[in-house]
């Protein structure tokens, strides 16, 4: 099932509750929260307090993407704040299996993220314990970047592996997902579509979320 995950990184933080509601009205079913620490990536965004505030204004699952060093130290705080899904970077975790188990221990759905330069082969050993795999289709740190085409190969590879191994993880993609790329992403096999600028950039998130989702579903029907 195709789902749209509006990324609040591109939203107007002065009106965050309204921005989340507008994207939900446009068909968004999960809210994507980009967490950056200024160390693992060259930007600083938000943390558990904002997640706690979001929890008060939406019933949708909160998908927290931790682009941070030492994520294990913060996983309990995100659980307490009301996060539903938490994904950690392969590149940031010294003991990835332990980090994923810690997320699950705190009652959240664990996900693993791979940067553009990281091959899918690196995460094969832990695919059996994740809820989702997030393929970064830009280098993490900033919104509004251009989609990296090589990401499509990685999405296709993850889809094939899922079938070969008899697993059920979902395939998420984040970075440059827009009206001109969403069809390619869906055709490759992605089901969870993170979009920030494409939803919030023009100031009409309800309209643009709805159109993006329409294009994604049309591409999914073509594949079927």
- How far apart are alpha carbons 14 and 53 in whole angstroms? 13
Both ends of the chain: CA-CA distance in Å? Answer: 12
- How far apart are alpha carbons 197 and 178 in whole angstroms? 8
Q: How far is CA 36 from CA 44, 69, 100, in A?
A: 5, 9, 19
Phi and psi at residue 43, to the nearest 5°: -160, 155
Tokens 């499509």 found at: 152
Whether residue 16 contacts residue 54, with contact meaning beta carbons closer than 8 Å, is answered with yes
Set 12, 34, 80, 208: catalytic member: 34
Active site residue 34: yes
Phi and psi at residue 12, to the nearest 5°: -85, 110
Q: At what angle do helices 16-25 and 48-57 cross, to 10 degrees?
A: 50
Active site residue 174: yes
Set 18, 174, 180, 208: catalytic member: 174
- How far apart are alpha carbons 117 and 109 in whole angstroms? 25
- Kindly list the catalytic residues: 34, 174
């Amino acid at each position: 099932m195709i789902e749209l995950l509006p990324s609040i990184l591109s939203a107007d933080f002065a009106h965050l509750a309204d921005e989340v509601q507008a994207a939900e009205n446009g068909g968004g079913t999960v809210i994507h929260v980009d967490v950056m620490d200024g160390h693992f990536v060259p930007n600083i965004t938000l943390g558990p307090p904002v997640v706690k505030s979001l929890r008060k204004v939406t019933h949708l699952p909160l998908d927290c993407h931790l682009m941070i060093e030492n994520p294990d130290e913060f996983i309990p705080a995100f659980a307490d704040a009301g996060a539903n899904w938490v994904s950690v970077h392969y590149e940031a975790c010294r003991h990835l299996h332990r980090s994923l188990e810690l997320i699950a221990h705190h009652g959240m759905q664990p996900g693993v993220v791979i940067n553009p330069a990281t091959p899918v082969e690196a995460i094969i050993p832990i695919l059996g314990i994740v809820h989702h795999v997030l393929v970064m289709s830009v280098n993490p740190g900033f919104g509004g970047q251009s989609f990296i085409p090589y990401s499509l190969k990685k999405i296709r590879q993850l889809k094939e592996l899922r079938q070969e191994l008899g697993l059920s993880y979902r395939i998420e993609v984040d970075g440059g997902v827009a009206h001109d790329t969403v069809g390619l992403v869906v055709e490759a096999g992605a089901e969870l579509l993170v979009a920030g600028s494409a939803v919030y950039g023009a100031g009409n998130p309800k309209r643009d979320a709805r159109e993006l989702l329409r294009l994604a579903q049309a591409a999914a029907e073509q594949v079927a």
